[in-house]
Structure 1
Amino acid sequence: MTPAQRTMRASLAAHTRWAVEPDREKALQPARDGLLARFERQVDPDGVLPPAERARRAESARKAFYRSMQLKSSRARAARRGASGTA
């Protein structure tokens, strides 16, 4: 299977799943909880911070993570523009 075919297959599976899901919010809650726990472990691996401080730091770690993804995406788009010769 080519990479494009794998992408199409994955997209088909995702659309099929979400077409029958009655409550997306509830279905995605475990993923959101897991991601938050990841950032909390990152900023407080020993679990010694007060909950409010841990949450504040985890939110900053989450924002930093998404900003780094934005930067990588921006650089990739710029590289593609440069490679294609268009601005």
Structure 2
Amino acid sequence: MASPTATERRLAASIAAHESWAATPDRSARTAPARRALEDKFLAEAGGDPRRAEHLRRAYFQRLALKSARARRRSRELAAEAVTADAELAALGGDAS
């Protein structure tokens, strides 16, 4: 039997994840250790100062938001470039489909 492709492995993992979450009665309890570990990480980085830890946490999530906004903007730019390229190709008599 052939080895599964990357796509097949990804689909199998996705199915397993959905089944696992479907069998989880308390989602909050399941994710509590990870949330606690992240808060502990910020607290450790802040040298135990909860106020500084809160600022580190906010900066972290704002940094994620900035990366997300940049990625969405880049995606829109690429989509616009594709539309322009398709229109140019169609104008030249090519197949834009």
TM-score (norm 1): 0.74
After the TM superposition, which segments of 4 or more aligned residues of structure 1 sit over 6 Å from their partners? none
Q: Given the alignment of the two structures, is residue 77 of structure 1 paired with residue 77 of structure 2, yes or no?
A: no
Alignment: residue pair count: 77
Compute the displacement of 1:21 (Å): 1.0
Identity of aligned residues (%): 39
Residue 50 of structure 1 is matched in structure 2 by none
Structure 1: state its 5+ residue gaps.
48-53
- Provide the alpha-carbon RMSD of the alignment: 1.8
Picking from 42, 46, 61, the partner of 1:43 is 46
Compute the displacement of 1:79 (Å): 0.8
Compute the displacement of 1:42 (Å): 1.3
Residue 20 of structure 1 is matched in structure 2 by 23
Compute the displacement of 1:17 (Å): 1.1
TM-score (norm 2): 0.67
Residue 93 of structure 2 is matched in structure 1 by none
| 1:9-49 deviation line (CA, Å, top 9, x unaligned) | 333222111111122121111111100011111111xx5xx
Greater gyration radius:
2
SS of alignment partner, residue 58 of structure 1: helix
Picking from 41, 54, 61, the partner of 1:66 is 61
